[in-house]
Amino acid sequence: MSLIAGLGNPGREYAGTRHNIGFELVDRLAEVLSIPLQPAGGLYMAGEGSFKSNPVQLIKPLTFMNRSGSAIRKAVNRFHTPLEECLVCYDDINLEPGRIRLRAKGSAGGHNGLTSIIQSLQTDQFPRLRIGIGNNFSRGRQSDYVLSPFTNDERKIMNETLDYAVDAVLEFIRSGIEQTMNRFN
Protein backbone atom coordinates (compact mmCIF):
# COMPACT_ATOMS: atom_id res chain seq x y z
CA MET A 1 0.00 0.00 0.00
CA SER A 2 1.31 3.44 -0.92
CA LEU A 3 1.14 5.95 1.91
CA ILE A 4 0.99 9.55 0.67
CA ALA A 5 1.57 12.12 3.40
CA GLY A 6 1.10 15.83 2.80
CA LEU A 7 2.66 18.14 5.38
CA GLY A 8 1.08 21.32 6.71
CA ASN A 9 -0.44 22.94 9.75
CA PRO A 10 -4.02 22.23 10.90
CA GLY A 11 -6.45 25.06 11.40
CA ARG A 12 -8.26 27.61 9.27
CA GLU A 13 -5.65 30.28 9.93
CA TYR A 14 -3.09 28.22 7.98
CA ALA A 15 -5.31 27.25 5.04
CA GLY A 16 -3.91 28.52 1.76
CA THR A 17 -0.48 29.36 3.16
CA ARG A 18 2.76 28.36 1.48
CA HIS A 19 3.61 25.95 4.29
CA ASN A 20 0.36 24.03 3.67
CA ILE A 21 0.97 23.11 0.04
CA GLY A 22 1.44 19.46 1.11
CA PHE A 23 -2.06 19.49 2.63
CA GLU A 24 -3.42 21.01 -0.58
CA LEU A 25 -1.82 18.24 -2.62
CA VAL A 26 -3.40 15.52 -0.47
CA ASP A 27 -6.77 17.30 -0.69
CA ARG A 28 -6.51 17.28 -4.50
CA LEU A 29 -5.54 13.62 -4.51
CA ALA A 30 -8.51 12.86 -2.24
CA GLU A 31 -10.78 14.59 -4.74
CA VAL A 32 -9.25 12.91 -7.83
CA LEU A 33 -9.33 9.45 -6.22
CA SER A 34 -12.70 9.98 -4.46
CA ILE A 35 -11.14 9.23 -1.07
CA PRO A 36 -12.80 10.99 1.87
CA LEU A 37 -10.43 12.11 4.64
CA GLN A 38 -11.48 11.63 8.25
CA PRO A 39 -9.80 11.87 11.65
CA ALA A 40 -7.87 8.66 12.30
CA GLY A 41 -5.35 7.51 14.85
CA GLY A 42 -5.55 10.78 16.78
CA LEU A 43 -2.56 12.33 15.03
CA TYR A 44 -3.75 12.65 11.44
CA MET A 45 -6.58 12.76 8.94
CA ALA A 46 -6.65 9.69 6.69
CA GLY A 47 -8.47 8.12 3.82
CA GLU A 48 -8.07 4.81 2.02
CA GLY A 49 -8.75 3.96 -1.61
CA SER A 50 -7.02 2.73 -4.72
CA PHE A 51 -5.57 3.82 -8.03
CA LYS A 52 -5.30 1.35 -10.93
CA SER A 53 -5.83 -1.52 -8.45
CA ASN A 54 -3.02 -0.22 -6.21
CA PRO A 55 -4.11 0.45 -2.61
CA VAL A 56 -3.51 4.01 -1.40
CA GLN A 57 -3.60 5.62 2.03
CA LEU A 58 -3.68 9.44 2.17
CA ILE A 59 -2.77 11.26 5.37
CA LYS A 60 -2.49 14.81 6.68
CA PRO A 61 -0.75 15.07 10.06
CA LEU A 62 -2.59 17.14 12.67
CA THR A 63 0.53 17.61 14.79
CA PHE A 64 1.68 20.88 13.19
CA MET A 65 4.51 20.95 10.69
CA ASN A 66 7.47 20.83 13.05
CA ARG A 67 6.13 17.73 14.82
CA SER A 68 5.04 15.74 11.77
CA GLY A 69 7.33 12.82 12.64
CA SER A 70 5.12 11.27 15.31
CA ALA A 71 2.10 11.22 12.97
CA ILE A 72 4.08 9.76 10.07
CA ARG A 73 5.65 7.08 12.28
CA LYS A 74 2.25 6.13 13.70
CA ALA A 75 0.71 5.89 10.20
CA VAL A 76 3.62 3.86 8.78
CA ASN A 77 3.31 1.42 11.68
CA ARG A 78 -0.50 1.29 11.60
CA PHE A 79 -0.69 0.59 7.87
CA HIS A 80 2.46 -1.58 7.78
CA THR A 81 3.87 0.55 4.98
CA PRO A 82 7.41 -0.15 3.78
CA LEU A 83 9.27 3.17 3.81
CA GLU A 84 9.98 3.00 0.07
CA GLU A 85 6.19 3.21 -0.42
CA CYS A 86 5.74 6.23 1.86
CA LEU A 87 5.87 9.49 -0.14
CA VAL A 88 6.15 12.66 1.96
CA CYS A 89 5.00 15.82 0.15
CA TYR A 90 5.96 19.29 1.41
CA ASP A 91 6.90 22.88 0.60
CA ASP A 92 10.45 23.85 -0.32
CA ILE A 93 11.80 27.40 -0.28
CA ASN A 94 14.83 26.28 -2.30
CA LEU A 95 12.68 25.63 -5.38
CA GLU A 96 10.95 28.40 -7.29
CA PRO A 97 7.15 28.34 -7.41
CA GLY A 98 5.98 25.99 -10.14
CA ARG A 99 8.76 23.44 -9.71
CA ILE A 100 8.62 20.03 -8.08
CA ARG A 101 11.46 17.68 -7.25
CA LEU A 102 11.30 14.03 -6.27
CA ARG A 103 13.98 12.22 -4.30
CA ALA A 104 14.23 8.62 -3.10
CA LYS A 105 15.99 9.61 0.14
CA GLY A 106 18.13 12.33 1.64
CA SER A 107 18.62 14.94 4.29
CA ALA A 108 16.01 17.33 5.62
CA GLY A 109 17.58 20.26 3.77
CA GLY A 110 16.68 22.60 6.64
CA HIS A 111 12.97 21.73 6.60
CA ASN A 112 11.77 21.29 10.19
CA GLY A 113 8.87 19.00 9.28
CA LEU A 114 11.21 16.66 7.44
CA THR A 115 13.72 16.82 10.30
CA SER A 116 10.97 15.65 12.67
CA ILE A 117 10.10 12.74 10.36
CA ILE A 118 13.73 11.67 9.96
CA GLN A 119 14.19 11.76 13.74
CA SER A 120 10.98 9.81 14.40
CA LEU A 121 11.68 7.15 11.76
CA GLN A 122 15.40 7.14 12.58
CA THR A 123 16.22 7.14 8.88
CA ASP A 124 16.19 9.43 5.86
CA GLN A 125 15.54 6.48 3.53
CA PHE A 126 12.04 7.37 2.29
CA PRO A 127 10.80 9.12 -0.87
CA ARG A 128 9.74 12.72 -0.88
CA LEU A 129 8.14 15.21 -3.24
CA ARG A 130 9.22 18.81 -2.76
CA ILE A 131 6.96 21.56 -4.05
CA GLY A 132 8.64 24.88 -4.72
CA ILE A 133 7.25 27.93 -2.96
CA GLY A 134 10.19 30.28 -3.62
CA ASN A 135 12.16 32.35 -1.15
CA ASN A 136 11.06 35.94 -1.69
CA PHE A 137 11.59 37.07 1.89
CA SER A 138 13.99 39.29 3.82
CA ARG A 139 16.56 37.87 6.18
CA GLY A 140 14.88 36.70 9.39
CA ARG A 141 11.40 36.70 7.80
CA GLN A 142 11.24 33.07 6.62
CA SER A 143 8.56 32.09 9.14
CA ASP A 144 6.32 35.00 8.12
CA TYR A 145 6.82 34.10 4.46
CA VAL A 146 5.96 30.39 4.70
CA LEU A 147 2.93 31.13 6.89
CA SER A 148 1.56 33.72 4.47
CA PRO A 149 -0.83 33.05 1.57
CA PHE A 150 0.25 32.99 -2.05
CA THR A 151 -0.26 36.13 -4.11
CA ASN A 152 -2.91 35.91 -6.85
CA ASP A 153 -0.22 35.40 -9.50
CA GLU A 154 1.53 32.75 -7.38
CA ARG A 155 -1.79 30.99 -6.76
CA LYS A 156 -2.31 30.51 -10.50
CA ILE A 157 1.17 28.98 -10.78
CA MET A 158 0.62 26.80 -7.72
CA ASN A 159 -2.70 25.47 -9.02
CA GLU A 160 -0.93 24.28 -12.18
CA THR A 161 1.92 22.90 -10.06
CA LEU A 162 -0.52 20.96 -7.90
CA ASP A 163 -2.07 19.39 -11.00
CA TYR A 164 1.41 18.32 -12.13
CA ALA A 165 2.23 17.04 -8.63
CA VAL A 166 -0.99 14.97 -8.60
CA ASP A 167 0.20 13.31 -11.82
CA ALA A 168 3.59 12.63 -10.21
CA VAL A 169 1.99 11.05 -7.13
CA LEU A 170 -0.24 8.85 -9.27
CA GLU A 171 2.85 7.70 -11.18
CA PHE A 172 4.57 6.97 -7.85
CA ILE A 173 1.61 4.84 -6.76
CA ARG A 174 1.67 2.94 -10.04
CA SER A 175 5.42 2.67 -10.71
CA GLY A 176 7.50 3.61 -7.64
CA ILE A 177 9.98 6.39 -7.01
CA GLU A 178 12.67 5.62 -9.62
CA GLN A 179 10.37 5.72 -12.63
CA THR A 180 8.55 8.74 -11.20
CA MET A 181 11.81 10.65 -10.76
CA ASN A 182 12.84 9.79 -14.32
CA ARG A 183 9.57 11.12 -15.68
CA PHE A 184 8.93 14.18 -13.49
CA ASN A 185 12.32 15.57 -12.39
Tell me how far apart the alpha carbons of residues 96 and 111 are, in angstroms, rounded to a whole number.
16
User: For 28-62, what is each residue's pLDDT tens digit?
Assistant: 999 999 999 999 978 999 999 999 999 999 999 99
Domains of the chain: 2-184 (3.40.50.1470)
Tell me how far apart the alpha carbons of residues 89 and 101 are, in angstroms, rounded to a whole number.
10
Phi and psi angles of residue 57, each rounded to the nearest 5 degrees, phi first? -120, 125
Q: How far is CA 161 from CA 25, 52, 158, 179, in A?
A: 10, 23, 5, 19
Tell me how far apart the alpha carbons of residues 6 and 26 are, in angstroms, rounded to a whole number.
6
Model pLDDT, residue 108: 94
Mean pLDDT of the chain: 96
Q: Determine how β-strand 44-51 pairs with β-strand 86-92.
A: unpaired
User: For 65-114, what is each residue's pLDDT tens digit?
Assistant: 999 999 999 999 999 999 999 999 999 999 999 999 999 999 999 999 99
Residue 7 contacts residue 90 (beta carbons within 8 Å) = yes
Model confidence at 136, in pLDDT bands (50, 70, 90)? confident
pLDDT at 138 over 90: no
Q: Determine how β-strand 100-103 pairs with β-strand 2-6.
A: unpaired
Catalytic hit among 19, 111, 128, 130 = 19
Residue 103 contacts residue 111 (beta carbons within 8 Å) = no
The pLDDT of 174-180, averaged and rounded, is 97
pLDDT at 13 over 90: yes
Provide the strand spans (E) within the chain: 2-6, 38-40, 44-51, 54-61, 86-92, 100-103, 128-132
Active site residue 111: no
| Partners of 78 in beta bridges | none
Tell me how far apart the alpha carbons of residues 136 and 1 are, in angstroms, rounded to a whole number.
38
The pLDDT of 127-155, averaged and rounded, is 93
Model pLDDT, residue 87: 98
Spatial strand order in the sheet of 54-61: 38-40, 44-51, 54-61, 2-6, 86-92, 128-132, 100-103
